Amino acid sequence: MKAVQAYRFALDLTPGQERAVLAHAGAARVAHNWALARVKAVMDQRVAERSYGVADELLTPSVGWSLPALRKAWNAAKGEVAPWWRECSKEAFNTGLDALARGLKNWSDSRTGKREGRPVGFPRFKSRRRTIPSVRFTTGAIHVEPDRKHVVLPRLGRLKLHESARKLARRLDNGTARIMSATVRLDGGRWHVSFCVEVDRAQQRPARSGSVVGVDIGITHLAVLSTGELVDNPRHLGAAQTRLRRLGRAVSRKIGPDRRTGQRPSQRWVRASARLGRAHARVSNLRRDGLHKLTTRLAREHGTIVVEDLHVAGMLRNRRLARHIADAGFAEVRRQLAYKTEWNGGRLVTADRWFPSSKTCSGCGAVKAKLALSERTYTCTTCGLILDRDLNAARNLAALAAQVDSAGSGPVAGRGADRKTRPGGLVAEKRQPGTAPADQTGTVPPQGRTTNHALVRAH
């Protein structure tokens, strides 16, 4: 099975090598800003000409937004814009132009409705001091040295790794991997190199192929499994909050940059800001490590994993729980399970966002009309079942796997979940007379259950 995955290693650069990497990252920023200024100038000129009544055929010729068009324009003007262009690899300029091409395409697709999700804004100019230095290499000599402690990149030469690259080197030696690109990036005060690799993975099967487990994500416990296992939430951000506050106060006491007056930051501010950044990076690394260990264990052990389609962006609007939700990494758990179940030969089932996993009794199937968030113990008034709220939800998620087997793959809108009215209402749906209303997932609610639909009154 062919799969594209990344291998990330920390680098130990010499001062000269760090200056060279920064020069390449600066070259990418210069190319990006020049191309963006050119595109904006042409767009503004065409808008001004239209305001004066100029015919479309007489307007200033438009500029291509594709990467080949931007690269062609850059090659024609780089002698005047960047006389030093020979000092850097061509991949540095290609990095900035490619980022701009992607940004323009995303902005255009978002405006025309081709791209789902939140609206994408127009690309912005990259600041020298606020932009994270990064450069990507797609061509040239990119390989791992035989000692597995050094990598070779175009124009940058031989770079020392902070750790051994034996995992990647073994695959390269066996011919089961091919490096597609390499990205050097400054993250948390340390340089890293990430290899995008096409890997030929062997077919694998979970340890228990017939096992079905429901995973309920929460704050009190990071994950509650339908098997009864409770995975503790380490709360890395909460544990480091005292240190982060102290470092933040230390930064605020220093003379920082001021864009209004053009004031440059002091060296003490730079050092204090770097300490704060390293502290945040440590929290991020601890969280990433814990989530990878959890999702890898679940994907290797169970054949079917059932999770919820949580609206994390909406949950983050709760000011009381936003920091705890972000610290747990709800969306990251599902993202990692999506590709790890595929790698290990398992299956991931996603329950519908409106499935009442917490309100439904896992014993008799009765659904409560309301269940406050403060009620941590589920008590069924029909059959008398008393169970932990999260464990009850995990068991209901595990039961959905049988419905998927009978109804086919895809999200499951189980047991007629009620929709809550959105602020401002929802658009009235059009349907033929005599037919049942369809929910937002395209499934028809079961007959005999009521579904709340907010209709917009036509004026």
| Identity of the residue numbered 231 | V
Does the annotation mark 216 as catalytic?
yes
DSSP string, 375-420: --EEE-TTT--EEEHHHHHHHHHHHHHHHHHHH-SS-B-TT-PPPP
453 close to 429: Cβ distance less than 8 angstroms:
yes
Q: Are the beta carbons of 215 and 394 closer than 8 angstroms? A: yes
- From the list 308, 327, 352, 439, the catalytic residue is 308
Which of 444, 220, 230 has the alpha carbon at shortest distance from 352? 444
In 3D space, the residue among 306, 341, 324, 335 whose CA is nearest the CA of residue 233 turns out to be 324
Find out whether 121 and 106 touch, Cβ atoms under 8 Å.
no
| Distance of alpha carbon 400 from alpha carbon 408, whole angstroms | 11
Please report which residue ranges of 113-240 form alpha helices under DSSP H. Answer: 166-174, 236-239
Q: Cβ(177)–Cβ(197) under 8 Å?
A: yes
Q: What are phi and psi of 371, to 5 degrees?
A: -150, 110
Buried b (16+ CB within 10 A) or exposed e, 67-84: beebbebbeeebeeebee
* N residues, the chain: 459
Query: For this structure, is 308 an active site residue?
Result: yes
Catalytic residue among 91, 98, 390, 439: 390
Q: Looking at the annotation, which residues are catalytic?
A: 216, 308, 390
